[in-house]
Amino acid sequence: MKNTGIARKVDERMFLSKQGASELLELITRSGKVHG
């Protein structure tokens, strides 16, 4: 049970980090377009 809980937390972290990275990329491209 503990192992599955840890795995879930890791999966959530990976998913959130992936989402955050994609959002950061979008923000960078948007700001680049505005400034460029």
Q: What is the pLDDT of residues 1-36, one digit of tens each?
A: 567 888 899 999 999 999 999 999 999 899 888 765
pLDDT of residue 32: 85
Name the domain count of the chain. 1
pLDDT of residue 18: 94
Give dist(CA 19, CA 13) in Å, integer: 10
CA distances from 36 to 18, 21, 23 (A): 26, 22, 19
- Domain of residue 9 covers 1-35
Tokens of 8: 């879930």
